[in-house]
Chain A
Amino acid sequence: MNKTPLTTTPDSVDIAISCKTLTEDIVDDIYSQLQNEAYAFILVFFSPLYVGTKFSTELRRKFNNTPVYGCSSAGELTSEGLSEGAIVAVGFRASDFGVVCCLIENLDQFTITDGQAQVQKSFEVFQSNRSVYKPHSLALMLVDGLCYCEERLVSAVNSGIKDIPLIGGSAGDGLQFSKTSIVYDGEIKENAAILLLIESRPPLHIFKSDSFLPSPVKFVVTRADPEKRIVYELNAMPAATAYATALGVNETDLNPLSFASHPLSVCFGGDHYVRSIQDVNADGSFRFYCAIDEGIVFTLSEIGDMVQGIEETMEEIQQNIGKPQMVLGFDCILRRLMYEINQSKGQVNQLFKDHRVIGFNTYGEQIHGMHLNQTFSGIAIGR
């Protein structure tokens, strides 16, 4: 039996959260929170506390073989706010959505040509089955956050999906950097990405929010290994030395919090984009979350008012599609660390709850053809 909806417009999505231990309990928990609806697909984001496989498979079975997609996280954005250690599930009703999924495996051997061909094939299937009642479309990508090839992947995908807007997130593993998981139709995949081509009745709005203030301090990358995303030298000095000197701290004191609070950005067409440092290596070089090259110019930046940034984004969404039913959000893990540092966690938590932001903390965000860091990106689903 369908439960009576509280609003006059029926919901397009249903949301569930669970922190149970037993697989059966988790599935029951999610089942009871989602409505007894036919879903086009179910998205799950889960803490690395969980194995992932069993509940995805069982969830798929419980919902009559509804496809289950998702990934592991570095923190979950749930209907109860920011969480660590939960499973969050979103059911996309079949009446309002349709999906074609493309699984891209063996990312360590990924080639743009093969990727394009694969995406094009899925795109053709998607295009030939479009419903007139679902005029809006979206490409949603979830990718192994430790694959080091998001740029190539996103460029291949973006060229294969024509004008469909692309949004995505890199899966996390709670800042352990050892293994992230992608859920493809109730199965766990590693070294893989999934691309969901989604058609939608409700209007959609893609957004990207970042809050940082470029300073006049510039660094030129004088030595780097672009393949491995390693920068050895900035301004002809060891990277860590140059960066620490500019910050006025000891090299030995550099840590993820320093990188979160003082990101490096590059400037394209007047806009700045953060290239986040993942870690400092023993030799004083930096490992990045995203592509870098020799000769590029970094601008040292500071973090601005993130709460205001989120508020403005919500305003932007409201203006475009009205009050959203739900916001699917990919929030960089480094931003989450910053919420703790500058004590804005409470406010962010409230904002995310108020606007029904569901998603996870990422190791990187993809929007259109770009792989970015330290942004809050996502898609808002209107009425």
Chain B
Amino acid sequence: MSRDKGTLNTPDTAPEKPILLLSNKDAPTYTTDGPLSEREAQLIERVEKLEKINQALIRRVERSMDQRTNSYSLFQSAILLEEQVRSRTMELRSALNELETSNQDLSIAKEQAEQSNVSKTKFLAAASHDLLQPLSAARLNMSALKTEDVSKQAGRLISQVDRSLLSIEELLRTLFDISKLDARVSVPEICRFPAERILKGLEADFAPVAKQKNLKLSVFSLPLIIHTDPIFLRRILQNLISNALRYTETGGVLIGCRRRGDTLRFEVWDTGAGIEEDEHDKIFDEFHRCKSHIHQDGLGLGLAIVKRMAEATGHEINFRSFPEKGSVFQVTVPISNEPFQLIDEQDEPKDNFPTRYKLQDAFVVLVEDNPNVRVALKTLFAKWGAQCLAAANYSELQEKLDQVERRPDIIVADYHLGDDLVGPEIVRQVRRRYGSDILPAVIITATPQDEVLAHAASYNCELLTKPIAPAELRSLVLYLLNE
């Protein structure tokens, strides 16, 4: 029942003339001293609107009259309606059935396809793991042997075996990477990333290698934000630089970038032997090695990976070679004009997780394999009044989450968790479990390298570096809870 106690009107006792607001000026009356044409225009507009309203009302009235003329027509229309409904329902049912059958066929086919893909990937993962495990064990034993007091001859042999083992390991890893790319298990996630950060990391990695070979390594960067998957791009450049250094004996390697309109072109120059023209078509093939390099280390897989990763990310790869002078490889990447933010959720829709405003009743999920750090963090959260569920690894976390009714408010995970999934992967699993893409997460790490940063950023996780300052952690968690 409506309560008509206000001052607005009293519809029950004195029905007033209803107000229909028909213009933005909300004035149903018009002044007479305005110019005639304007008044006319206003009136015409008003009449048009009224006509439209009139039509809507007439249609409505007719519809309701239709059903209420007399008992017989009501009876007739009820029967008709029933009949119509029944036949429509039948039609709809058979259509639905057909759809269901074809859907089932499709989903079976899809399932089979997925199954075979999954089993292939699983096999690869298992094979690579099973192969790599004994290899690294063998290498460990080798390094133990090295420390033994052995003859010079034996020492040399040990080093050779070790080197061979190392290259087998590299070969396996690379093959595994290639199959992951082919099976689309590794899919790039394009984001905005500063070009400088990628080059800086690479410079640090390769400076010692260049120094060892007495080569000059120069890196020139531009402060631009690019659209890329930072992990993929880094890997592409890494392989190109590593090749350049490997096949250059004197001179040096130059890494630069040039802006070309909306794109940024990374270039890796070397002063090596160059590539013969008849080999230009083949250098991106698996296991292809140039004649001039045949006596050197290397598997011939570096460029095969580069090619696949470039295809996956959509970055163009070019090269030019000048026999006996050197080569240049170019990677072209689109430039982003928007400013860079590590966590960029501004235009994301609001997530479907309830927001908690205080740390006090927040429910924190913590994954940290180091027992000391784990206990310390758990104690901290308890001190702040939050509930904290702590686990050392993913399987323990799963077990514990099975006992919990409440949805987590935030995840805090270490990046490296021994042999377990890395932090961002755990975050992804937990988000999937609770059906929320944007459950806030913090990754903690002692090694804030580019990969870690990029990985965390691409999964929409914040990053904190160890040693953790409690105040920093607290304000970050609070901030994320209130986002």
Contacts and interface: CB of A to CB of B under 8 A. Distances in A.
Contacts of B19: 216-218
A3 B406 CA distance: 30
B427 to A, nearest CB: 18
Interface in A264-285: 265, 267, 270-272
A216 B21 CA distance: 11
B57 A220 contact: yes
Contacts, number: 141
Interface in B443-457: none
A210 B4 CA distance: 11
B145 interface: no
A50 B406 CA distance: 4
Interface string A9-32: 000000000011111101000000
Contacts of A215: 8-9
Contact of A295 (B1, B5, B60): B60
A125 interface: no
Q: How large is the interface on B (under 10, 10 to 19, 20 to 34, 35 or more residues)?
A: 35 or more
Contacts of A270: 12
A217 B9 CA distance: 10
B52 A296 contact: no
Contacts of A295: 56-57, 59-61, 63
A74 to B, nearest CB: 10
A342 to B, nearest CB: 14
B61 A216 contact: no
B26 interface: yes
A84 B354 CA distance: 10
Please report whether the interface of chain A is mostly helix, strand, loop or mixed according to DSSP.
Answer: mixed
Contact of A51 (B4, B18, B63, B405): B405
B5 A294 contact: no
A235 B55 CA distance: 11
A173 B86 CA distance: 36
B164 to A, nearest CB: 53
Contacts of A293: 60
Contacts of B6: 213, 302, 304
A211 interface: yes
Nearest to B53: A220
B352 A213 contact: no
A113 interface: yes
A212 B3 contact: yes
Contacts of A249: none
Interface string A210-251: 111111111111110000000000011100011001100000
A220 B5 contact: no
B354 A214 contact: no
Given A210-B1, A216-B18, A302-B6, A23 B405 contact: yes
Contacts of A236: 22, 48-49, 52-53
Interface string A36-49: 00000000000111
A23 B403 contact: yes
A213 B405 contact: no
B387 A21 contact: yes
A111 interface: yes
Given A23-B403, A55-B405, A302-B8, A49 B59 contact: no
A216 B354 contact: no
Contact of B20 (A178, A235, A265): A235
B211 interface: no
Contacts of A219: 20
B56 A213 contact: no
Given A49-B407, A213-B8, A216-B18, A309 B2 contact: no
A176 B352 contact: yes
A136 interface: no
A213 B407 contact: no
Interface in A185-216: 208, 210-216
B47 to A, nearest CB: 11
A216 B16 contact: yes
B410 to A, nearest CB: 13
A46 to B, nearest CB: 9
A345 interface: no
B1 A178 contact: no
Contact of B2 (A21, A49, A213): A213
B24 interface: yes
A271 B2 contact: yes
Q: How large is the interface on A (under 10, 10 to 19, 20 to 34, 35 or more residues)?
A: 35 or more
A134 interface: no
B11 interface: yes
B361 interface: yes
A296 B57 CA distance: 7
A49 B406 contact: yes
A179 interface: yes
B66 to A, nearest CB: 13
Contacts of B89: 111, 113
B56 A271 contact: no
A245 B406 CA distance: 44
Contact of B354 (A52, A85, A210): A85
A174 interface: yes
Interface centre among B5, B63, B352, B354, by most A CB within 10 Å?
Answer: B354
Interface in B382-421: 387, 389, 403-407
B363 interface: yes
A270 B456 CA distance: 61
Contacts of B8: 213-216, 302
Contact of B26 (A218, A246, A272): A246
Contact of A113 (B56, B85, B389): B85
B49 A235 contact: yes
B405 A21 contact: yes
B152 interface: no
B361 A85 contact: yes
Contact of B405 (A22, A48, A109, A301): A22
B18 A218 contact: yes
B17 interface: yes
A54 interface: yes
B403 A22 contact: yes
B353 to A, nearest CB: 8
A354 interface: no
Contact of B21 (A19, A217, A294, A296): A217
5 contacts: A176-B352, A211-B3, A212-B2, A216-B8, A293-B60
Given A22-B403, A217-B21, A220-B57, 9 more contacts: A23-B405, A48-B407, A51-B406, A52-B405, A213-B5, A242-B21, A272-B2, A297-B57, A308-B3
Closest 9 CB pairs of A and B: A295-B60, A213-B6, A236-B49, A236-B52, A272-B2, A178-B352, A176-B352, A218-B18, A23-B405
